[in-house]
Amino acid sequence: MKRALEEAHRSLWHAPPNPAVGCVLLPTAGAPILGHTQPPGHRHAEADALARARELGVATAGATVFVTLEPCSHFGRTPPCADALVEARVARVVVAVQDPNPLVAGRGIERLRAAGIQVEVGLLDREAREINIGFFSRMVRGVPWVRMKIAASLDGRTALDNGRSQWITGAAARADGHAWRARAGAVLTGIGTVLEDDPRLDVREVETPRQPLRVIVDSRLETPPGARILQSPGSVLIYAAQDDVVRRAALEARGAEVALCPGPSGKVDLSAMLRDLARRGINELHVEAGHKLNGSLLREGLVDEFLIYLAPKLLGLGREMLRFGPLQSLDEAVGLRFLEVQPVGEDLRIRARPPGRERF
């Protein structure tokens, strides 16, 4: 199953909105055959391993199959993998975790058992959920997994007082940040960052088979039609709270989609926005915003994970990571749990989760 998880990992960048799944087929004789999810519309992991077995002329009857997610039982863009395993006459299927999609959960396992195949469920289920944490979040909660990336100095500053922030972290940390952008379905920022940094927010520092959707929270449609984000590759979606026919037309003429998502006090309803992003198939949402939008997302309890790069430098007065508070008591502090602390180039990468989000 560990090999199957490694295979699943290879699909992380091209699988979305599908889950990244890995498969290892152990034939009764010969070497293991590996498979993983191909881009949407192409082979799932089990079908991939079975196709490889056919290409190699390896008999699949009696084989044991390890797969990181329950085989599908429904006709989507590809035929059901459970049927393919039945037709291949495999003897045993070990599934790491059941499909979280309430419409199909358990059906693939039932289909295999009904055909007389021995099925076991639960081996390395925690790791299997973790690799598809965004897909699980979308299926179970109806919102993407929100991962907030912050690049800061050791004293926690994300920009100088005058707004300048490029660059705080080094080249290796910035490239690492692009790898996290690449696996997300969408990258989200706020209008403050668009106006101050004129960012592109696309994936350039690492190779990628696709560009994530770029999303701007822009209550009053203030994104300049000449902004670089509208010129770089990939689609742009702007959430506004108020319509403005002229500004909307100018942004649409540049290829952006504008969605109205009004909330209280003339601002975008951030929870409704997340539900809408999930409906659009976004599993992981990568946030790269300034202290104001970061603070709003935290205050509304919408942040699932922090991806923080800390540079070994001090900036003194400047913008904080997230604007919230002031708290009255230390008991009110937002406690986090470190998942990982890792050097990246000359900087440190810290991944941390708030309580209740340690696992999914």
Ligand X SMILES: Nc1c(N[C@@H]2O[C@H](COP(=O)(O)O)[C@@H](O)[C@H]2O)[nH]c(=O)[nH]c1=O
* Binding site partner of 60, from ligand X, ligand NDP, none, Cβ cut-off 5-8 A by kind: none
Q: Which of 35, 71, 144, 177 binds ligand X (CB under 6 A)?
A: 177
Is 193 a binder of ligand X (CB under 6 A)? yes
Q: Which of 129, 174, 214, 357 binds ligand X (CB under 6 A)?
A: 174
Query: How far apart, in whole angstroms, are the C-alpha atoms of residue 205 and residue 58?
Result: 40
The answer, yes or no, to whether the previous bond of 167 is cis (omega within 30 of 0) is yes
* Binding site partner of 298, from ligand X, ligand NDP, none, Cβ cut-off 5-8 A by kind: none
CB of 158 closer than 8 Å to CB of 169: no
The residue among 190, 20, 160 whose CA lies nearest residue 97 is 20
CB of 100 closer than 8 Å to CB of 136: yes
Tokens 């037709």 belong to residue: 87
Is 229 a binder of ligand NDP (CB under 6 A)? no
The residue among 310, 315, 298 whose CA lies nearest residue 354 is 298
Q: Which of 18, 137, 219, 223 binds ligand NDP (CB under 6 A)?
A: 219
Our answer to whether residue 120 is catalytic in this structure is no
**In the range 283-322, which residues lie near ligand NDP by CB under 6 A?**
288-293, 296, 319
Find the DSSP H helices in the chain.
2-10, 45-56, 81-87, 107-114, 125-131, 133-141, 171-183, 191-197, 245-253, 270-279, 291-299
In the complex with ligand NDP, the residue whose CB is nearer, 191 or 213, is 191
* Binding site partner of 174, from ligand X, ligand NDP, none, Cβ cut-off 5-8 A by kind: ligand X
Cα 154 to Cα 167, 335, 345: the distances in Å are: 14, 19, 15
Backbone angles phi, psi at 284, to 5 degrees: -110, 130
The least CB distance from residue 222 to ligand X, in Å, is 16
Query: How far apart, in whole angstroms, are the C-alpha atoms of residue 241 and residue 329?
Result: 34
Q: How many residues bind ligand NDP (CB under 6 A)?
A: 27
Is 291 a binder of ligand X (CB under 6 A)? no
Q: How many residues bind ligand X (CB under 6 A)?
A: 16
Is 163 a binder of ligand NDP (CB under 6 A)? yes
In the complex with ligand NDP, the residue whose CB is nearer, 68 or 296, is 296
Neighbours of 287 (CB within 10 A): 25
The least CB distance from residue 194 to ligand NDP, in Å, is 7
Active-site residue, from 6, 7, 46, 196: 46
Under the rule (CB under 6 A), what is the footprint of ligand NDP?
150-151, 158-159, 163, 165, 168, 189-193, 196-197, 217, 219, 267-268, 270, 288-293, 296, 319
Name the residues annotated as catalytic.
46
Under the rule (CB under 6 A), what is the footprint of ligand X?
151, 165-169, 173-174, 177, 193, 197, 199-201, 288, 309
